[in-house]
Amino acid sequence: MKRRHTQWKMRHIHWTSLCLAALATTACASRRAVDTTPGPSGDRLARLEALYQARVDSVRSNVSEADVRFMTGMIPHHAQALVMSGLAPTHGASAELRILTARIINAQTDEIALMQRWLRERDRHAPEVVVDGLTLTIDGAPPMRMHGMLTDEQMRQLDEARGAEWDRLFLRYMIQHHEGAVTMVTELFSTDGAANDDVAFKVASDIQVDQITEIRRMKIMLEEMAGGPIGPRQLTRPPSSSGNTQREIK
């Protein structure tokens, strides 16, 4: 009886070993099959790459002229915001305004670079921006005034203000400036065939959302400073003084 039990146990062990070996062989074969699955051949891979490039080129060549005008016009628009915001450190801006202007400079410098790159990638002219104190040039000439951009007189008033007066004037003028940018986005979105490009749509959407949010914040800041909305007659202009810094955005 004991001998039969031992024989049965040995056969069971032998059978289990065979099963495990078979499973291991199957797993190895499957792994080898996965590992050795061939990729696209050289000719097929070249055709796929050419097809992808053709689609990219098609997207870039079929760019909407409305998108081009928007990008081209928003570059000097953003650049003037850099000039305005760059006055904060030398014109006695409050800590709160310095934070706001630094945020505007960081965001809009990045967006200018993105819009210039978008234009170049589509074989369109990308305007070059140079800021020299209060002087802003686009491709070596004064920029065309887009919606909301300040006049030379308004820029002079902002440059002459100091301290709390500068804070108030900056907020009023930047609200005007931002509202102009929102108008430009609205016009783009209302144009047939515009903003179908993914990048153009994202740039315009980000500008719209960010600047509407900042308009609301700046209006609250104005009301907190004055105890209510400020009228233009409440602003005075201190003696003139100006700094001179130069930078180029490419």
Determine whether 79 is exposed, middle or buried from the number of CB atoms within 10 Å of its CB (0-12, 13-18, 19+). buried
| β-strand partners of 247 | 131
* Contact predicate 238/104, CB 8 Å: no
Pick from 96, 93, 111, 80: nearest CA to 174: 80
d(CA 179, CA 170): 14
Per-residue model confidence (pLDDT) at position 133: 85
Residue 48 parent element (H or E): helix 42-61
Residue 93 parent element (H or E): none
Per-residue model confidence (pLDDT) at position 8: 42
d(CA 121, CA 63): 11
Question: What pTM was computed for the model?
Answer: 0.69
Helix (H, G, I), strand (E, B) or coil at 130: strand
For the chain, how far is it from start to end, CA to CA, in angstroms?
A: 94
Q: Determine the topology of domain 64-249 in CATH.
A: Ferritin (1.20.1260)
| β-strand partners of 137 | 130
d(CA 147, CA 61): 28
Other C-beta atoms closer than 10 Å to the C-beta of 122 total 19
- pLDDT by position in tens, the chain (length 250): 434 444 444 444 444 454 445 444 444 444 444 445 555 667 777 666 666 665 555 555 579 999 999 999 999 999 999 999 999 999 999 999 999 999 999 999 999 999 999 999 999 999 999 988 889 999 999 999 999 999 999 999 999 999 999 999 999 999 999 999 999 999 999 999 999 999 999 999 999 999 999 999 999 999 999 875 444 434 433 333 334 434 455 5
d(CA 218, CA 7): 91
